[in-house]
Amino acid sequence: MSSPQIITFIHNALNQKLDEIESHFKSDMIYINGPISDDLLGVFLECVEELIEDKNEEHDGKLLIMLTTTGGSAEVVERLVNICRAQYNEVNFLVPDYAYSAGTIFCMSGDSIYMDYSSVLGPIDPQVMNKDGKYVAALGYLDKMREFVEKSKDQQLSEAEFLMLREMDLAELRSFEQAVELTTDLLKDWLVRYKFKNWDRHSDDTAVTEEDKVERAVEIAQKLADYKEWKTHGRPLNIETLTNLKLKIEDYSDDDKLRPLIRDYYNYAQQYMGLIGYGGFIHTRRHI
């Protein structure tokens, strides 16, 4: 086949697989592959509104977001969540490969998170624009700042480290702290409001209180934001790790029908992005 024929073939295959996934979940679906930045907002809003116009009664107010991203802005995530929840009663996430940083934050706003044994999330390390106009991982900067301060207290700060510390912008550091505080607050709110809304009984069959939900949400948020625990911005956290954090994940690894369907769709999407040369990709039954 020629290149245009291949593109048409994959385009049609993607639409077919998306239709099958929507039928399986009885849900509208949006696939996002790329950074979570301001550029995503307008397209995402348009896609959601198109799906709402093209109403499918069988889907009954449900949205499935399939997500592949290295991360981005927590502020953009908050706006995306507001858009979803204004139109849908239930929003679920499916991670066929990876969703790091702001992608993890986005997933935490879901009623359910679907992953298989190869899927990973990441620490909630917000990316913040520094004074040079570049996005940097906030937790890494703050951790290094604390290290310098502790060394200074013990009079163990080298001359080179002293010069680096002196160059740090206090206003910029405060903006990094605020970004981390925002992500933690968002997680606490969304986990209690959405992820834990149907959590009624503990494993010992005692009733789950609102205080229990808040306590569990705070615990998960703090652990996901623990830079000393995870060491790097891109540390992959699989189902086992997330389960140990007491976060419930829907594992489709052994679903002989769903897992091949998701894998086929994801592979076609990767091929399509490569052929078209897209840096980012968003797909619904109305948009590609």
Q: Tell which residue, 14, 19, 69, has the closest CA to residue 44.
A: 69
pLDDT for residue 133 is more than 90: no
Q: What is the pLDDT of residue 222?
A: 85
Residue 1 pLDDT > 60? no
Query: Exposure of 86 by Cβ count < 10 A (0-12 exposed, 13-18 middle, 19+ buried)?
Result: exposed
With a cut of 70, say whether residue 86 has pLDDT above it.
yes
Which of the two residues, 128 and 240, has the higher pLDDT score? 240
Q: Is the pLDDT of residue 181 over 70?
A: yes
pTM here? 0.87
How far is residue 4 CA from its own chain's centroid? 33
Domain with residue 13: its CATH number is 3.90.226.10
* Exposure of 204 in the CB half-sphere (CA atoms within 13 A): 1
* pLDDT of the residue at 192: 93
Whether 104 contacts 126, CB under 8 Å = no
Contact (Cβ atoms closer than 8 angstroms) between residue 108 and residue 204: no
Reported as a single tens digit per residue, the pLDDT across 30-69 is 999 999 989 999 999 999 999 999 988 888 899 999 999 9
Whole-number Å distance between alpha carbons of 95 and 103:
10
- DSSP reduced 3-state for 86: helix
What is the pLDDT at residue 59?
86
Query: Mind listing the pLDDT tens digit for each residue in 266-277?
Result: 999 999 999 888
The pLDDT value recorded for residue 68 is 97
What value does the CA radius of gyration of the chain take, rounded to a whole number of Å? 21
Other beta carbons less than 10 A from residue 159's beta carbon: 7
Question: Could you tell me if residue 241 is inside a domain?
Answer: yes
Contact 109, 86 (CB under 8 A): no
pLDDT, the chain, mean: 87
DSSP character for 208? P
Structure tokens at 158: 């080298």
Higher-confidence residue of 80 and 230: namely 80
pLDDT over threshold 90, residue 3: no
Is the model's pLDDT at 179 over the cut of 90?
no
Phi and psi angles of residue 202, each rounded to the nearest 5 degrees, phi first = -75, 170
Given a cut of 90, whether residue 170 has pLDDT beyond it is: no
- 288 found inside a domain: no
Exposure b/e, 48-60, CB count within 10 A at least 16 = b? beebeeeeeeebe
Residue 100 lies in a domain: yes
Can you state the angle between helices 210-224 and 170-190, rounded to 10 degrees?
140
Q: What percent of the chain has pLDDT over 90?
A: 58
Residues 6+ apart with CB under 8 A from 8: none
Model confidence at 173, in pLDDT bands (50, 70, 90)? Answer: low
Residue 224 sits in which domain range? 3-283
Domain count across the chain? 1
Q: How does pLDDT run across 207-236, given as a tens digit for each residue?
A: 999 999 999 998 998 888 876 776 665 689
**Structural domain contains residue 87:** yes
What the block records as the tokens of 109 is 């706003």
From 219, 223, 192, 224, select the one nearest 208 (Cα to Cα).
Answer: 192
User: What residue has token string 């570049």?
Assistant: 134
CA distance 24 to 27: 8
Residue 116 domain-assigned (yes or no): yes
